[in-house]
Amino acid sequence: IKRDSRFAQLTGEHVGYFRSLLGSESAVIDGVTNDRAADDIEPFNSDWMRKYRGHCKLVLKPGSTEEVSKILKYCNDNMLAVVPQGGNTGLVGGSVPVFDEIVISMSRMNQIIEFDEVSGTLVAEAGCILEVVDQFLASKGYIFPLDLGAKGSCHIGGNVSTNAGGLRLLRYGSLHGTVLGIEAVLADGTVVDDLCKLRKNNTGYDLKQLFIGAEGTIGIITKVSIHCPQRSPAQNVAFFGLESFDKVQQAFREAKGQLSEILSAFELMDEGSQALVRQVTKNESPLEGRYPFYCLIETSGSNADHDSEKLQAFLEDVMEKGIVSDGTLAQDETQIKSLWTWREGITEALSHLGGTYKYDVSIPLKELYQLVEDTRARVDAAGLLGDTDEYPVRAVVGYGHMGDANLHLNVSTRRFDERVEKVLEPFVYEWIAARQGSISAEHGLGVMKKKFIGYSRNPTIVGLMKNIKNTFDPNGILNPYKYL
């Protein structure tokens, strides 16, 4: 892709305006007039996977909705392109510039505004870190309805902008259901105040839904109001090994039947993914034996004894029936955390091993794992499997949110390599399209999947999306080169 020549080049005059607007020294990182700022700008130009790299020279950190509005109005009037950035943990290259777009970091907008202890409605600024919000809610007996491995750095505004799914969607549902309201700023500076706190509101189109998952292409989310469930006093976790994907499916059915309302997560990991976690962390696996598949089940309920009895009975039953080969139950909080690291820690472990090609897809459950096998066979046939400089692919692994039919196909390589990418794309997308799956289940489109949207959305829908983009951002200054 080429830089869009409609966008202006940044000048000292532009920087001067932003400085006078934002006042505080730390709210502007200026690499336009100051070469020495390059090191400070570097983290905003590089994504979490170190796969995408931008060339931005200016980072702005607004402290209020009004400042976001003034920044955007000025950018729109002067044809300056921008990239909204939250915690920069996105996995599709959406949060970093492609060329010299200005990064608008939301990190200073990190206040919890209000919390209603009866209804569980939280209102907070977009730049709040997920884990910080969740800890606040824990102190009130509540839980944020989303949890994911990047919780220590991702922002709730970033979560809403990507419509992140995470580890407990099975229980608490998608952000499309839990987000009650949004305040956002459009490209021309218009503040859209839809910070509704009601669970029900059928007065006209539900416009906030458009911002959920829009990846910063139609506005910048500044505040979020969200319905938070009661935190369950009792949590239990089981981890078990299985001999086939057929058995994984049987175990899922049994778990839904036997654990019903207390089931809060059903996660899948293959042996390849666990071998990589062992290699990086040097930790002992929770089970003695090795199995092609592992599942992690979490229950959340109101009665610890009752729940752990139920989970124990479930595990005994599925082992007796020969569905599960071996399993273990966490006995306390430390063990619960430790079992979760075998699932949550995969992404980070992979990141230590070089480049990872990540495909986050939805497929009808019965064929979910077939994609991993077919991809592995294809990479092998292309002669790329080997973990050497010449054969850079270390492993083709699968894990994911089994309960949501969401697979993470990951191809771990020594380094990002065009030969590998050519073997994988568009193969993976064609495979998905042939099964009416989704090429992006929860990570979004970003820059990675922009050109592949047609594999999951028909031309009529893409056309309507383009109309929406043009209505909200006619000059196209918001997160250009991505999404559509």
List residues near ligand MLT by CB under 6 A: 149, 346-347, 358, 360, 408
Q: How many residues bind ligand FAD (CB under 6 A)?
A: 38
User: From the list ligand MLT, ligand FAD, none, which binds 273 (C-beta under 5 to 8 Å, kind-based)?
Assistant: none
**192-251: contacts with ligand FAD (CB under 6 A):** 215-216, 220-221
Closest residue by Cα to residue 92 from 482, 446, 421: 446
The answer to whether residue 155 forms part of the interface with ligand FAD (CB under 6 A) is yes
For the bound state, the minimum distance from the C-beta of residue 423 to ligand FAD, rounded and expressed in Å, comes to 25
Q: Which is nearer to ligand MLT, 236 or 347 (CB)?
A: 347
User: From the list ligand FAD, ligand MLT, none, which binds 237 (C-beta under 5 to 8 Å, kind-based)?
Assistant: none
Q: Which is nearer to ligand FAD, 85 or 413 (CB)?
A: 85
Among 72, 102, 103, 154, binds ligand FAD (CB under 6 A): 154
For the bound state, the minimum distance from the C-beta of residue 169 to ligand MLT, rounded and expressed in Å, comes to 10
Which SS3 state, helix, strand or coil, does residue 160 take?
Answer: helix
For the bound state, the minimum distance from the C-beta of residue 68 to ligand MLT, rounded and expressed in Å, comes to 28
- Angle of helix 65-77 relative to helix 12-22, nearest 10 degrees? 160
Tell me what percent of the chain is helix, strand and coil, each rounded to the nearest 5: 40, 20, 40
- Size of the chain, expressed as the number of residues it contains: 484
Count Cα atoms within 13 angstroms, Cβ side, for 448: 28
Residues 6+ apart with CB under 8 A from 144: 122, 130, 133, 134, 137, 156, 226, 228
The answer to whether residue 62 forms part of the interface with ligand FAD (CB under 6 A) is no
**For residue 430, how many other CB atoms are within 10 A of its CB?**
12
Per the structure block, which two tokens stand in for 331? 């006995």
Tokens 């799956």 identify what position? Answer: 437
For the bound state, the minimum distance from the C-beta of residue 456 to ligand MLT, rounded and expressed in Å, comes to 17
Per the structure block, which two tokens stand in for 166? 């995470």
The CA distance from 106 to 127, in Å, is: 5
Which SS3 state, helix, strand or coil, does residue 120 take?
Answer: coil
Among 45, 159, 225, 375, binds ligand FAD (CB under 6 A): 159
For the bound state, the minimum distance from the C-beta of residue 442 to ligand MLT, rounded and expressed in Å, comes to 6
- Would you tell me which residues interact with ligand FAD (CB under 6 A)? 48, 83-91, 94-95, 106, 126, 148-150, 154-155, 157-159, 161-162, 164-167, 215-216, 220-221, 347-348, 442-443, 446, 479
